[in-house]
Amino acid sequence: MSEQRRGFLQGFAAYVLWGLFPLYWRLLDDSSALELLAHRIVWSLISIALLVVVLRHYGQVRAILADPRRRWPLAAGAVLISVNWGVYIWGVEQNRVVETSLGYFITPLFTVLLGVFVLGERLRAIQWTALAIAFVAVVGLTIEAGRPPWIALALTFSFGFYGLVKKKANAGAVEGMAVESATMAPVALIAIVVMALQGHSTVTDHGLGYLALVLLSGPITAVPLLLFGSAATRISMTTLGLLNYIAPIMQFVVGVTLFHEHMSSMRWAGFGLVWIALVLFTWDGLVRRRRVVTPDVAASAV
């Protein structure tokens, strides 16, 4: 099997696993989002720590901890991804899986906007058009629901800024996540202890099977991340960007078909506009990449 094909399959598997997350978290809806988040952080740290030992990445982790320019962005990223995880779990518990999928649909567009205002990047006309269409969609969904889609916006902002600080940290997937998990683990442990002392801990109240599912939150978090990290080194960013849409599409389908969430005509129209914006955005990226690659190929042939 070629490296590109292996990378494609790894990326595909990562996004499919992320797309199936609503089914997993729904199995644990007897516990609060806060309790599940705390356990996810703790067991993620344990899973990643084992990987660091197996892969012998001690040196990379120590190097990050010794470098404030990478350590502090990862600490900020730890807070942002914890918010993202907590909001997502809560959204699934509240039967708003479709809204969580909206958050991940518009995240790529928000990331582009961050590039403009934070990194000073310039957009082409078609990209501005895509952003304008997405904005109209969010306004329409706000009018339809009588409130802004807070879950979607929280997921978009937290993951968009998370991507920004991760870019600044420039750390590998395993060692970066090790530092992030270690940053939030003390807070998560305190939360677990406090809930237990107050009688609000529920993960041990529903049998060993339920507890085993909670403990699996660590590996379930780590495995797709590792698949994604491996894929990113083998396939182009364009291919990875296209695979990115698998997860929210699956989440949307799960929300509509399995969880039977209501979709009004206005809501369908709003999602339709978001999808149009993403098609324009993706098409522009593919065309631009083709224009860049073609001259390079021609030059190498000469």
DSSP letter string over 185-254?
HHHHHHHHHHHHHTT---TTSSHHHHHHHHHTHHHHHHHHHHHHHHHHTTS-HHHHHHHTTHHHHHHHHI
C-alpha dihedral, 207 to 211 to 214 to 215, nearest 10°: -160
Distance of alpha carbon 117 from alpha carbon 123, whole angstroms: 11
Give the pLDDT band of residue 294 (cuts 50, 70, 90): low
3-class secondary-structure state, position 164: helix
Of 185, 160, 188, 18, which Cα lies nearest the Cα of 77? 160
At residue 262, what is the residue type? H
CB 233 within 8 A of CB 10: no
Helix (H, G, I), strand (E, B) or coil at 54: helix
* Structure-block tokens of residue 136: 């109209």
d(CA 280, CA 108) in angstroms, rounded, equals 12
At 88-125, the pLDDT tens digits run 999 999 999 999 999 999 888 888 888 778 777 777 88
Confidence of residue 27 (pLDDT cuts 50, 70, 90): very high
Structure tokens at 87: 């909001």
pLDDT band at 292 (very low <50, low <70, confident <90, very high): low
Rounded Cα–Cα distance for residues 50 and 52 (Å): 5
User: Alpha-carbon distance 68 to 88, whole Å?
Assistant: 30
- pTM reported for the whole predicted model: 0.87
| pLDDT tens figures, 50-76 | 988 988 888 888 998 898 888 999 999
